Amino acid sequence: MATSLHDKDKEQGQGTLLPLPPSVEERRRAEWLAAELERHNYLYHTLDAPEISDDQYDILFKELMSLEQRFPDLRSPWSPTLRVGAGLLESLEKKAHSRQMYGLDNVFSGEEWREFVERMRRAAPDAPLAFWCDPKLDGLALELVYEKGLLTMALTRGDGRIGEVVTDTARTIRSVPLRLRGDGLFPAYLEVRGEVVIFKKDFAALNARQAALGQKIFANPRNAAAGALRRLDAAVIKSRPLRFLAYSLGSVTWAPALPCAFHHELMERLLVYGFSIPPGGRLCRTPHEVAQYAESARERRQDFPMEIDGIVAKQDNLEAQESLGFTARAPRFAVAFKFPAVRMETLLIGIDVQVGRTGVLTPVAILQPVAVGGVVVSRATLHNEDEIRSRDVRVGDTVIIQRAGDVIPEVLGPVLSKRPPEAQEFSFPRVCPACGGEVQREPNETAWRCGNLSCPAVRLERIIHFVSKAGLDIQGIGRKWITQLVKTGKVRSPADLFTLTTDALKCFERMGQKLAENFTRAFEAAKANATLTKLISALGIRHVGAQTARTLAGHFSNLDELGMADAETLVALPDIGPEVAASIRGFFSNPANLAEIARLRDLGLASRNLTVQSPADDTPNPLRGKNVLFTGTLSIPRIRAQHLAESAGAASANSVGKKLDYLIVGESPGGKLAKARELGVTVIDEKEFIALLALAGIRAEEQP
The residues binding ligand IVH (CB under 6 A) are 102-104, 134, 136-137, 141, 195, 247-248, 278, 312, 331, 334, 336
**Shortest Å distance, C-beta 436 to ligand IVH:** 41
Q: How far is the CB of 401 from ligand IVH (least distance, A)?
A: 22
Note whether 273 and 151 are within 8 A (CB).
Answer: no
Minimum distance between the CB of residue 47 and ligand IVH, rounded to whole angstroms? 20
State the minimum distance, in angstroms, from the CB of residue 102 to ligand IVH: 6
Strand bridging mode 334-338 / 106-107: parallel
Residue closer to ligand IVH, measured from CB, 314 or 624: 314
Give me the least distance between CB of 4 and ligand IVH, in Å please: 49
Which residue among 62, 94, 95, 136 is the active-site one?
136
Q: Quick one: 312 or 491, whose CB is closer to ligand IVH?
A: 312
CA 25 to chain centre: 47
Q: Which is nearer to ligand IVH, 301 or 521 (CB)?
A: 301
Specify whether the CB–CB gap between 542 and 447 falls below 8 A: no
Instruction: Count Cβ atoms within 10 A of the Cβ of residue 387 and give its class: 0-12 exposed, 13-18 middle, 19 or more buried.
Output: middle
Least gap, CB of 124 to ligand IVH (angstroms): 15
Rank residues 116 and 481 by Cβ distance to ligand IVH and give the closer one. Answer: 116
Start-end of H helices in 572-649 = 578-588, 591-600, 638-647
Asked if residue 613 lies in contact with residue 637, where contact means CB atoms within 8 angstroms, the answer is no
Minimum distance, C-beta of residue 247 to ligand IVH, in the bound complex (Å): 4
CB of 242 to ligand IVH, least distance (A): 15
Residues 691 and 640 sit within 8 Å (Cβ to Cβ): no
Q: Is 130 helix (H, G, I), strand (E, B) or coil?
A: coil
What is the C-alpha radius of gyration for the chain, rounded to an integer number of angstroms? 28
| Distance in angstroms (rounded) separating the CA atoms of residues 567 and 259 | 51
Query: 646: exposed, middle or buried (C-beta count within 10 Å: 0-12, 13-18, 19+)?
Result: buried
Q: Which is nearer to ligand IVH, 334 or 570 (CB)?
A: 334
In the complex, the smallest distance separating the C-beta of residue 357 from ligand IVH, rounded to whole angstroms, is: 25
Amino acid at 167: T
CA angle, corner 118, sides to 117 and 119, nearest 5?
90
Nearer to ligand IVH, 248 or 551 (CB): 248
Residue 312 CB, nearest distance to ligand IVH (Å)? 4
Judged by DSSP in three states, 78 sits in coil
DSSP-based helix, strand, coil % in the chain, nearest 5: 40, 20, 40
Give whichever of 144 and 334 is closer to ligand IVH, judged by the CB atom.
Answer: 334
Question: 193 or 527: whose CB is closer to ligand IVH?
Answer: 193
Q: Which CB atom, from 137 or from 457, has the smaller least distance to ligand IVH?
A: 137
**Burial of 80 by CB count in 10 Å (0-12 exposed, 13-18 middle, 19+ buried)?**
buried
Torsion of CA 521, 524, 528, 532, to 10 degrees: 120
CA distances from 336 to 353, 403, 449 (A): 34, 16, 36
- Which residue's Cβ lies closest to ligand IVH? 141
Q: Which residue's CB is nearer to ligand IVH, number 342 or number 500?
A: 342
Dist CA 194 CA 230 (whole Å): 16
DSSP lists the bridge partners of residue 566 as: none
Active-site residue flag, 136? yes
Q: Is 435 helix (H, G, I), strand (E, B) or coil?
A: coil
Amino acid making up residue 571: V
DSSP string, 239-265: HS--EEEEEEEEEEE-TTSPPP-BHHH
Q: Report how far apart, in Å, the C-alpha atoms of 171 and of each of 155, 164, 250, 651 are.
A: 12, 15, 19, 37
Contact 253, 188 (CB under 8 A): yes
Cβ density class 167-190: b for 16+ within 10 Å, e for less: bbbbbbbbbbbbbbbeeeebbebb
Overall size of the chain counted in residues: 704
Quote the CA–CA distance of 35 and 632 in Å, as a whole number: 47
Closer Cβ to ligand IVH, 263 or 624, answer by number: 263
| CB 103 to ligand IVH: min, Å | 4
Q: Distance between CA atoms of 273 and 271, rounded to whole angstroms?
A: 5
As a whole number of angstroms, the distance between CA 263 and CA 257 comes to 16
Using DSSP's 3-state secondary structure scheme, residue 388 falls into: helix
Looking at the Cβ atoms of 134 and 686, the one nearer to ligand IVH is: 134
Phi, psi of 437 (to 5 degrees): -75, 170
Q: Please state, in angstroms and rounded to a whole number, the distance separating the CA atoms of residues 499 and 491.
A: 9
CB of 331 to ligand IVH, least distance (A): 4
The residues carrying an active-site annotation are 136
